[in-house]
Structure 1
Amino acid sequence: MNWTGRIHELTFGFPVPSAEKGPNGWTVRWPGCRVMGILNATPDSFSDGGQHLQLDAALATARRMRDTGVFILDIGGESTRPGAEPVDAATELDRVLPLIRALRGEHVLLSVDTMKPEVAAEALRAGAHLVNDVTGLRDPAMIRVCADAGAAACVMHMQGEPRTMQHQPVYSDVVAEVHGFLRERAAEVKSAGVPSVLLDPGIGFGKTLDHNLSLLRAVDDLASGPDPVLIAASRKKTIDLIAGVPEAADRDPGSLALHLHAARCGAALVRLHAAGEMVQALRVEAALA
């Protein structure tokens, strides 16, 4: 089947924008590939740190993305760039809760990008719909939070943790190991009561350039299963290593090319800083399919 005709879905235990009520909850379905927009309310994210610390600036960006057709807004309050230092839950909540509360009811899906179960729980109570956890829901408490709330979750692969993940990552077979981990975790998480999951191979999270390229060339394999796939490589070092673009903010052209490839290979969602531009690129690509 052409990538534009494949139907993807996420199910929730509570009403969410654009969902239909069914026997298992509220399900959102979409064809082809849609866009998750990045909204970092942090001072130290690798390419947009500090841009959205003020609520007015963050809301303006969020509404601009929504109006261009972005499907999900992914709101984060703690940087996960290589070498990033952790922040406490109170600081993270102070950054994300005002934005989630302000966007609640604006007919756009809201994701909270967090590793902390207590942050996820408060964000879901404030109006978030989905939890994006770069640790792959390794903490059983995070699974309980999502299951109890009926929230969908993104399960990502990361070797190590943000401060050390790029210190000589090693795999015997990166595709087999990452895909195996994601499929096993998806089954465990869903069996524990989480209604649905996204699978993210974690481009740039404990991987070399060759590892990342192998995973990107194998998106079709990961997407062949029942769970929708998210590819999130916006402005990452991989693009610099391929194209020689040292400044992260200058890597949007490479980001668009990389995520168009992922869409053609069956990715259900792509996560970008240049989210509105990606919506436009996907619409043109779909017309040519």
Structure 2
Amino acid sequence: MTLPVMEPDLDSATLRAWATAVDEGPFSALCWGERIAFDNPDSLTLLGAVAAWTERVRLVTTVIVPQLHDPVMLAKALATGDLISGGRLTVGIGVGGRHEDYRAVGADPATQTMREMAQRVELMKRVWAGEKLTESVLPVGPAPVQAGGPQLLVGTIGPKTVRSAASWADGMAGTILDLDPVKQKDLFDIARTAWADAGKPAPHLATSFWFALGEPEAARAQVHRHLRRYMNWIPGEYVDAMAPATGFAGTEDDLLVVLERFQEIGTDEVHLIPTSSDLDQLTRVADAVKQLVQP
């Protein structure tokens, strides 16, 4: 379950209530995304909070863009989050799709490439391995709880990105707009092949989609409002055109059918993305998905 970090008018009580409920519910992971030129909470500051607020679930960044950060400081911050959480951190990493975020922090949009991202990941892994990068007395710490650093997932929707990440990632954290399990399976098969060719264990396969629970018309309107706000870098008419077929809008029973379809193609995790900060949406999903995870 993803925190509603892209919703308006958030406060500490709302974020903490969601994090606590996710930790107590039938969920495997608590996720949150990163943007810069937006009014969402800072991802790394939030990592410290959710690490303290939770005890059980994996904590998954979906996704952090390394090119928007100093890589050594990012490695230190993530290792600190892994320390505070007791080794529960998974780091989703992507190049990002918005030049405005790059410009907001003074990053060069020319670095918005897989090659640049892979180089920064390599540097972060050197930090996590305890390698001294300079003539300092001690290396940059703290050491992460997880040997070698947190699990890394590449944020992607395309095969080229999947193949290029096989050398450094432990899996993928994709996003699917139209909920087509056949398309998702095709991408998963590419990942399985790429990881095998790289001589690595089978990849962790995760995908995500937006959701709204309720009567179909009202739920679809909720998704549409969220997309209009979140996708503010895209012309509104394009968002309006894609909204009717993007994400999930419907009842709990309908959602279970969709989740079962993704389960059938070998999905390890679905990271659900809320389109409202109303805690009732989370509670309803929790009650529904218990049916999938009970023995």
Larger radius of gyration: 2
* Structure with higher helix content: 2
Q: TM-score, normalised by structure 2?
A: 0.48
Provide TM-score, normalisation by structure 1. Answer: 0.48
